[in-house]
Copies of this chain bind each other. A is one copy, B any other.
């Protein structure tokens, strides 16, 4: 199990989302409330775009986020309009930098919470389904990275929801062939630096928690005292594994088997079905 957050909107210091909220991601690294485990101390990562035209920067380390000084420094000095942050609780694979999220390919970033059930049993079948030219770039040993490279194989850069659906479909088919009843459990965030897609799905239809923030204009009327909201652009959105605090009206659950997309000027949600 892991916890993550994805931010898209007015450029802000990363610490505003990673450190400052009451139940920030750093707090979740020690005291997650909705996860399988309360501790997420097996590495972390943060990825941000300087501009929508560049590849993102990705900083990942293998220790816990709560005590990491470099993360504190970066979050306190770097501003971005679109960033991911992830804290990891390993479900067995090695604690190493190449297993930390987010993963990057060109301008794309990917992060995941959940698991491919019995991944070690079907890893070989999944890995060999990755396009040979993409296979070269797999560096770690996680299910999450293989899911990313399968989605890239299936056209992530052209049709994100379609490619993720095909990835999920393959994982379920291969899992079922190996007698695995519920092969996939996932919340996934993926972005190209402009749009941000988030997916909530599990074979068992009992997916890990996922929330999105209410529209900024609604929040402004609910909480006229919050300075932060005055500066946030109307299309600012946050998608998180679990709410960053208890402020009423801020957090909405992403429905089961659903994906959403946030892009400059709008957003939408739609059902998600593996192909």
A residues apposed to B, CB below 8 Å: 30, 37-39, 41-42, 48, 50, 54, 57-64, 66-67, 69-70, 73-74, 76-78, 90, 93-98, 120-121, 123-124, 127-128, 132, 135-136, 138-141
Contacts and interface: CB of A to CB of B under 8 A. Distances in A.
Name the residue in A58, A95, A123 with the highest tally of chain B Cβ atoms < 10 Å from its Cβ. Answer: A95
20 contacts: A30-B37, A30-B39, A38-B38, A39-B39, A39-B41, A41-B41, A42-B64, A48-B77, A50-B77, A57-B77, A57-B78, A58-B73, A59-B70, A69-B94, A93-B139, A94-B139, A96-B96, A120-B136, A124-B136, A140-B141
Contacts of A136: 120-121, 123-124
Given A54-B77, A94-B98, 15 more contacts: A38-B38, A41-B64, A42-B64, A60-B69, A60-B70, A62-B63, A63-B95, A64-B64, A69-B94, A74-B74, A94-B97, A98-B141, A123-B135, A138-B141, A140-B141
A54 B78 CA distance: 12
A63 B60 contact: no
A79 to B, nearest CB: 8
Nearest to A95: B67
Given A42-B67, A69-B97, A135 B139 contact: no
A38 to B, nearest CB: 7
Which 7 A-B residue pairs are closest in the complex by CB-CB distance? A57-B77, A96-B96, A57-B73, A67-B95, A59-B70, A124-B135, A120-B136
A63 B61 contact: no
Contacts of A60: 69-70
A200 to B, nearest CB: 27
Identify the interface centre among A59, A76, A128: most chain B CB within 10 Å of its CB: A59
Given A57-B73, A97-B96, A98-B96, A124 B132 contact: yes
Nearest to A57: B77
Nearest to A49: B77
A78 B48 CA distance: 11
Q: Which residue among A48, A62, A70, A78 has the maximum number of chain B CB atoms within 10 Å of its CB?
A: A70
Contacts of A95: 63, 67
A15 B270 CA distance: 42
A151 to B, nearest CB: 18
A96 B127 CA distance: 21
